[in-house]
Amino acid sequence: MAGRVERVLNAALAGERGVVLNVAASELLSEPGPVCDVIDAALAQAEPGLTGQWRITEPFRRSRVTEDLVNSLVHPNPLTRAAAAQLCGALHLYEAVLWIEDLIRDKNRKVRDAAIRGLGRMGGRRAVESLMTSIDTIAMHRLAIALAQAATDMDIELLMRQPATEKAAVVTVIACGLRRDHLRVPPLLGIAHDSRWPKPVRLAACLSLGMIGGKGSADLRALADLDPDPDIKKAATRAKLRLERAARMESA
């Protein structure tokens, strides 16, 4: 199934008009992982913006399987719900966001995990809002991974400026590190040094700075040496050492 989808999407990427995917939704739902991987790869190759996205998703809409995929989000079989959440996310079916958000509270763990991954794959403001609305029901590391994938630079900036809660701030800061977001290094350094921020947020900022890399070890030295909180000093030291090690490897 994934091979059939790949051939059709390659034709769409090549500019062929009127490409139709002659498959049923049930066939796609039988192989959600491989099919999602093919869709992800095609979207990565497509031109940026909505035009490229439309070129990849239109064969699915033209074959009229997208409505069946959305309807499958309420299927009685949990495996079908999980598969539908993955596929709707990969295809950026924004009309399914609220349905997928409901699945984050599903009784079945596989469905919950698929819903989180689906929103991460989908991306966009509505998916980010759904993830952050569910912040108290998602493990912090899972939420940070999904947010790193779903959020745009603008989304991250807004979340950093106005975090709704301490946990929201921590998750956003960690997402910056997972994204290797070099643009966020200055504000992350500011958070790490600013004792007015809650301690967990400052610790997360140190962790993210270490993940991002680049030239930041000098800015962490004072924090590692002089901060009165031993946990902050330890986190800053770890981040500084990681940055120094990465710098040595780059220069080698």
What was the pLDDT predicted at 232? 94
Domain end among 123, 142, 166: 123
Domain end among 77, 104, 123: 123
Question: Is residue 17's pLDDT more than 80?
Answer: no
Query: pLDDT-based confidence at 195, cuts 50/70/90?
Result: very high
Whether residues 49 and 96 share a domain: the answer is yes
In a domain, 169, yes or no: yes
Percent of the chain with pLDDT strictly greater than 70: 96
In a domain, 129, yes or no: no
In a domain, 143, yes or no: no
* Burial bucket for residue 124 (CB in 10 Å: 0-12, 13-18, 19+): middle
- CATH label of the domain that carries residue 198: 1.25.10
In a domain, 137, yes or no: no
196-227: per-residue pLDDT in tens? 999 999 999 999 998 887 665 567 888 888 88
Whether residues 107 and 192 share a domain: the answer is no
What was the pLDDT predicted at 217? 58
What is the distance between the alpha carbons of residues 157 and 188, in angstroms, rounded to a whole number? 11
Whether residues 5 and 117 share a domain: the answer is yes
Whether residues 98 and 179 share a domain: the answer is no
Average pLDDT over residues 120-129: 94
Q: What is the mean pLDDT of the chain?
A: 91
Give the domain extent around 55. Answer: 1-123
Phi and psi at 196, nearest 5°, equal -75, -20
Whether residues 173 and 118 share a domain: the answer is no
Q: Are 70 and 84 in contact (CB under 8 A)?
A: yes
For the ranges 8-12, 13-17, 34-38, 93-97, the lowest mean pLDDT is seen at 13-17
Whether residues 95 and 159 share a domain: the answer is no
In a domain, 101, yes or no: yes
What was the pLDDT predicted at 225? 86
Whether residues 108 and 21 share a domain: the answer is yes
Query: pLDDT-based confidence at 30, cuts 50/70/90?
Result: very high
Q: Which is it for the CA torsion 97, 118, 45, 184, positive or negative? A: positive
- Name the domain count of the chain: 2
Structure pTM?
Answer: 0.88
CA of 179: how far to CAs of 109, 159, 184, 205, in Å? Answer: 26, 15, 10, 13
In a domain, 178, yes or no: yes
Whether residues 89 and 184 share a domain: the answer is no
Domain end among 79, 106, 123: 123
Whether residues 117 and 198 share a domain: the answer is no
156-168: per-residue pLDDT in tens? 999 998 899 999 9
What was the pLDDT predicted at 37? 95
SS (H, E, C) the chain: CHHHHHHHHHHHHCCCCCCCCCCCHHHHHCCHHHHHHHHHHHHHHCCCCHHHHHHHHHHHHHCCCHHHHHHHHHCCCHHHHHHHHHHHHHCCCHHHHHHHHHHCCCCCHHHHHHHHHHHHHHCCHHHHHHHHHCCCCCCHHHHHHHHHHHCCHHHHHHHHHCCCCHHHHHHHHHHHHHCCCHHHHHHHHHHHHCCCCCHHHHHHHHHHHHHHCCCCHHHHHHHHHHCCCHHHHHHHHHHHHHHHHHHHHHHC
- CATH label of the domain that carries residue 95: 1.25.40
In a domain, 141, yes or no: no
What is the distance between the alpha carbons of residues 114 and 122, in angstroms, rounded to a whole number? 12
Tokens 């106005």 appear where?
162
